[in-house]
Structure 1
Amino acid sequence: MALLARVSGSTRQISNNRFYKFYANCVCSKLYRKAPTSFASGIQSSVSARYASSGKSPSTEKQDKYVFYEEIMSRRRDQARRSVLIQVQSENSSYELYDYCSQFGKVQEMHHYKIGDNLSFILIEFNLLSDVEAINSASTHIQVDQNLPVTSPFLWFRVVPNRVRKDFVDKDIPLKVINANVASAPDDMNMLLFKAESVSDQMTLLHNATKLNETGTRLRFLSARQIELCLSGMFSEVTVLPFGSSVNGCGKLGSDLDLVLQMHPHLKENVQSRLVYYTKASSNPDRAQTQKVMEIIANIIDHFLPGISSVKKILHARVPIIKFNQTLTNLECDLSMSNTTSIYMSELLYLYGELDWRVRPLIFTVRSWARYMKLTNNYPGHWITNFSLTLLVLFYLQQKQILPSLQKLIELADKNDVRIADGDVNCTFLRDISKLPQASSRNEDDLETLLTDFFIYYSNFDFTTKSISLNAGMPLPKPAESTVYIHNPFEPGLNVAKNINTQEMERLKIEARNAAWLFCSAADNNANDWGLLSLFNQKIELNVKPIRLNHTNRMVELTALFSKSKTVDGVEKHSKYTQSANANSNTVNHSVDKQRISSKKKKSNQKQEFRR
């Protein structure tokens, strides 16, 4: 009945607005789409240029040579070691800064970004680590009696008074990007989606326009490097690694930074050495000790490290964390300790994303849909998280025979793939995807089909009795009482969706059903809210004024409504109504003439506007 009600309601709406929608949607929107805005056309051009330069198309992108996750992490950490962040007056300072820094070593790359309207920064990568050491030696502290003289990779470039400015017009500097790390404004993003040719193209454009960019990735590793440098004086083997969406390929512009601190990840005793360090014994080598150490670290970074503010200690959670803001890189950070399982989880999600080019655009679209429908939130609660949503997408793609089960990856692993995390958690799986056997038949569904089927699949999924298992690659009987049960891939006994209550689960299914209905009953893409715009409840303002229909031919004249005259004592006299009607008729006719002239001018102006 509800379905019939929705259909009849839609039918009434279409019939009531048939003529205007025919004109506005079928004519005006097409003409408007031929004149793209500068921002949207710029993004579209950059996306097209990116694929053109690599010989790929967004819809038929082929995989490059697979790069191992650990190799990427090693390369990014090496970049951070050879980088410094310098605050400048504006991007125009890049020439003078390049000239000044070149005396200390070869500048490899420069990335400019802004925070707000006033703060400009340039991230500089040098060729050698010794170049950064030379920069640190040449840098200075000011007002030492008022400031703590901490050495870090964060600097600022001060103006020298009465300095003769050089001419840098012809200077070729490696400034890779200006004003990077800025998310698209909603209206600009909507216009970009509006101009796409299909829903599949919309999904690809959404992914490319909102995913974490090169500058954003470098800033995340540099933020980790700052904490690592702070603690390396006491703990020579300390490492601080980003994990989660920042490194698994699902990162979005403006997303939080998750960090894990490891005191001695690879430290082993050298039995051949006769010299041994004096150390203090760990009083409680368990959770209590971890909480105590993290409290000390929180106080250190809060009091000594530049840019770090709003430090909060959340030490009694299942995984104790320190929350803080790094204002110089514009990041909200969560720091945990000895959480190595999360590192290998990031590697698994990275591997799944590399197996098929459709994985990440689908994840981005589903996450965006959940955010617009308010199924997810930025703070914890009884709703589904982005991590759980990602696992739902991956599990669905396993049902589509696009991704293998984790059990298949474990079976194909060899001795080089063995990884054991804290708590003896087995995180072993195949790391080299080139060893995966080729499937006999490959799923070739486009992104639009996959998205529609995703909504249909989970709108009908039996969360009451079934659980989601990426290990098995198929639904399993629910092992425990919980509204939604999603097995942790590495610790199947843990439910990553334990927080979701019945109300949120029903909302998820209802919204998935609504989305499936929307795509199955979608009209053509001439409307101003087609495709993903309709899914996200977004509309494009076409800036086209509706055409007023001025009926100039009257069916009945005003004077015909009244008697022309009546005879009184043989004398023809007009009634007061007739006199008034005649006066009104003259006024109306004069108004109609003016309206005709105005209408002709409007039509002429609209035609000229459409031609432009």
Structure 2
Amino acid sequence: MLKLQSCLRFGQYASGTSRRWHSTVLPDQKLKKSYPNKENFRDLIERRQSEALRSVILEVNTIDVCGQVYNHCKQFGEIKNAFVYTLKDERNIMLLEYKHLDAVSETFKFSGFKANAVQCPNRVLVVKNSKLNSSLSTNAPLLLDNAIAPPIAHILRNAATFDEQVCLLYDNSRLTELSLRLRFLTALQAQVVINKYMNESFPNAIVYPFGSSVNGFGKMGCDIDLALRFDTDIDRTDGNSDKPLEFCGKMIESEDDSNKLQGNQVKCMASLIEYFVPGCESVSAFSGARVPIVRYFDTYIHSSVDLSVDNLAGFHITEYMYTMGLMDHRIRPFIFLVRQWAKEFGLTNKRRYSITNFQLSYMCLSFLQQLKEPLIPTFEDVKLQMNKNQSENFTINKNNEFIFDFDRFKFETKNKSTVLELFIQFLEYFGTFDFSKYMVTVKTIEKTPKPAADPLYLENVFDSTNPWGLNVSQAEISTLQIMIQESLQELEQCSLTPSDNHHNWGLLEILSKLK
């Protein structure tokens, strides 16, 4: 039986030398196969929004009629993709993506509202079986998907290597194609209602998913973060303007004024969502929060949704995390492993003062920059190369907006560590990290003193006045470092090869011992 301590080598960080740990086994080829193509974030958003605009959701009584529904809808236009899934409450749902946008309008022309229903066009339709033509064929190219993450213990137990286990954890836990499409449809549902009823107050508003839904680190069932962004092309009479006339308007002179405005905006949006967006329950407006949000539960994706206004920092850090996650095929599986470890320990259990998955992911990226052979560049390195190229295609502008183009930016790592090695080095790094003195940052590898006494200080590279992590208590930081030491001790005794008697081994053994 191969034990962890029997395959050790020296590891090293940029800031010092680690203990003698770490398997020298090369990353499993299956891990590389799960590595997605490098699609720029803005291209991803545009593609997914286009898919959502050409899509509708249909609720059906039984899966047996899905083929007939498909063939009924073909009369409105060519169907590009058709998904079928079942929710936790056993409702059966279809998602149809048409090839052309006008097919959606045609579908709406032949659809009606129930008596006494609020008549607001949306993307959710209910199929009335009794009205379907019984002669319609039941044959259709339907893609059966699961909107709920499957149990994966048996799958992991039958893997051949530890890194294959991590790969399987990643592949079976991350958001599926259907889940991503549903999240963009959720954004579109809110956007359509806001555009229809508040276009003057929210000119050309667009609702974007951000956070785990699109940064590549999201798991099945994770909450959805949405950001309402406004048209940025409105003329402004700043110091460089040659216009002699300007409109009078309420002045936003402080951050407090901005928060009050956003607070009132989310109150308006909460009312619209509650009455006009189908499938929304428990709608609440948190107008006095540091980042005002509308929170509701969407029954068609069975997830909680947070909608904020003009949350640019959230959108930009999402693009940065998405981009860094594509720098190397090990990064996303590694972050999934760290987050699963934290979940098993109860470190990310949504208590008020606990560490969030976003904060943990940020810490992972900071750590990956600290390695002697880093897996990702620092934020400053990215800015430096961008400035040298002076390209319009990838920019960090005066507002630190992060716009990236993989075709113009090159980064290669010489790091050969496995995901297991990276995990252990992560534990070692933050097990001895002095949170009382230093901030955690992705800006540079230099240790940077934090400007405030908060137990956890994550530098916001897009808005230095609003750091992340201030919700975390000192008790949570102490618990984190205690759990790290316990994990390192347990890892010394864990088996890294499959067990002949089908018992837990590798990742399953590690996580079971840490509970």
Q: Calculate the TM-score normalised by the size of structure 2.
A: 0.84
Q: Which stretch has the larger CA shift, 340-349 or 229-238? A: 229-238
Deviation at 1:89, TM superposition (A): 1.6
What is the distance in 1 between the residues matched to 2:223 and 2:293?
14
Instruction: Choose from 502, 505, 508 the match for 2:477.
Output: 505
What secondary structure sits across from 2:212 in the alignment? helix
Q: State the distance in 1 between where 2:114 and 2:192 align.
A: 21
Provide the residue aligned with 2:205 in structure 1.
238
- What are the within-5 Å matches in structure 2 for residues 473-488 of structure 1? 473-488=445-460
Indicate the SS of the match to 1:347. Answer: helix
Q: Helix, strand or coil: the match of 1:112?
A: strand
Per-residue displacement from partner, 1:16-61 (whole Å, max 9, x unpaired)? xxxxxxxxxxxxxxxxxxxxxxxxxxxxxxxxxxxxxxxx932344
1:362-383 superposed Cα distances (whole Å, 9 cap, x missing partner): 111111111110111234x222
Encode CA deviations 1:569-590: one digit per residue, 9 max, x unaligned: xxxxxxxxxxxxxxxxxxxxxx
Q: Quick one: which amino acid aligns to residue 400 of structure 2? A: N
Would you say 1:181 and 2:147 are equivalent positions? Answer: yes
The residue aligned with 2:125 is 155
Three-state SS of the structure 1 residue aligned to 2:326 is helix
The CA distance in 1 between the partners of 2:421 and 2:370, in whole Å, is: 14
Paired amino acid for 2:379: L
Q: Which residue number in structure 1 is paired with residue 431 of structure 2?
A: 459
TM-score (norm 1): 0.71
Is 1:432 the counterpart of 2:405 in the alignment?
yes
Is 1:91 paired with 2:57?
no
Q: 1:450 to 1:229 in 2, by over 3 A?
A: same
The 1:456/1:286 distance shift into structure 2, 3 A limit, reads closer
Give the partner amino acid of 1:245: S
Asked whether 1:207 is paired with 2:170, we answer yes
Q: Deviations over 1:191-221 (max 9, x none)?
A: 2222222221111110000000000000000
Matched, 1:226 2:196: no
Unaligned runs of 5+ in 1: 1-55, 271-278, 540-612
2:214 to 211, 228, 247: 247
Deviation track 1:207-256 (CA, whole Å, cap 9, x = no partner) reads 00000000000000001111111122342511000000100111110001
Q: What letter is aligned with 1:149?
A: Q
Partner of 1:389: 360
Alpha-carbon offset, residue 133 of structure 1: 0.5
In the alignment, structure 1 residue 260 sits paired with structure 2 residue 227 = yes
Query: Would you say the 8 A contact 1:254–1:331 is kept in 2?
Result: yes
Partner of 1:194: 157
**C-alpha distance 162-213 of structure 1, shift in aligned 2 (>3 A):** closer
Distance 2:472 2:266 in 1: 29
Aligned residue for 1:534, secondary structure, equals helix
Task: Give the drift of 1:494.
Answer: 3.7
Partner of 1:410: 383
CA distance in 1, matches of 2:34, 2:98: 32
With over 3 angstroms needed to count, the CA separation of the structure-2 counterparts of 1:254 and 1:471, relative to structure 1, is same
Q: Is the 8 A contact 1:108 1:174 kept in 2?
A: no
The alpha-carbon deviation at position 116 of structure 1 amounts to 2.5
Matches of 2:251 and 2:410 in 1, distance apart?
50
SS in 2 for 1:133: helix
Q: Is 1:472 the counterpart of 2:441 in the alignment? A: no
CA contact (8 A) 1:468 1:474 kept: no
Distance 1:164 1:491, change over 3 A: closer
What is the CA–CA distance in structure 2 between the aligned matches of 1:332 and 1:258, rounded to whole Å? 9
SS at structure 2 position matched to 1:252: coil
Per-residue CA deviations over 1:468-521 (Å, capped at 9, x if unaligned) read 121013322233212222212223454312222222111111111121222233
**Per the alignment, in what secondary structure is the counterpart of residue 232 of structure 1?**
helix
Once the two structures are superposed, what CA deviation does each residue of 1:165-193 show, in whole Å capped at 9, x if it has no partner?
4453xx3x3312x24212113xxx11222
Residues in 1 aligned to 2:60 and 2:74: alpha-carbon distance in whole angstroms: 16
AA aligned opposite 1:321: I
Report matched runs for 1:487-566 at 5 Å: 487-523=459-495, 525=497, 526=499, 528-537=503-512
Provide the residue aligned with 2:15 in structure 1.
none
The 2-side partners of 1:94 and 1:411 are apart by 53
Structure 2 unaligned segments of length 5 or more: list them. Answer: 1-27, 238-246
* Maintained 8 Å contact 1:152/1:229: yes
- The structure whose RCO (Cα within 8 Å, separation 6+) is larger is 2
SS in structure 1 at match of 2:76: coil
Identity of aligned residues (%): 26
What is the CA distance between 1:161 and its match in structure 2?
A: 6.2
Q: How does 1:61-210 map to 2 (within 5 A)?
A: 61=33, 65-143=37-115, 146-160=116-130, 164-168=134-138, 171=139, 173-176=140-143, 178-185=144-151, 189-210=152-173
- Give 1:467 deviation, angstroms: 2.1
Q: Distance in 1 between matches of 2:132 and 2:158?
A: 51
Aligned mates of 2:427, 2:272 — CA distance in 1? 47
Deviation string for 1:264-305 (max 9, x for gaps)?
A: 2444489xxxxxxxx995586733222222211111111222
Could you say which structure has the larger radius of gyration? 1
Q: Secondary structure at the match of 1:84?
A: strand
How many angstroms apart in 1 are the aligned matches of 2:49 and 2:170? 25
Contact 1:311 1:325 in 2 (8 A): yes
Q: Residue 340 of structure 2 aligns with which residue?
A: 368
Equivalenced residue count is: 461
Could you tell me how far 1:388 is from its partner in structure 2? 1.1
Describe the superposition over 1:406-460 as per-residue Cα deviations: whole angstroms up to 9, x where unpaired.
000011113523355xxx742246x123444555x60011111111111122112
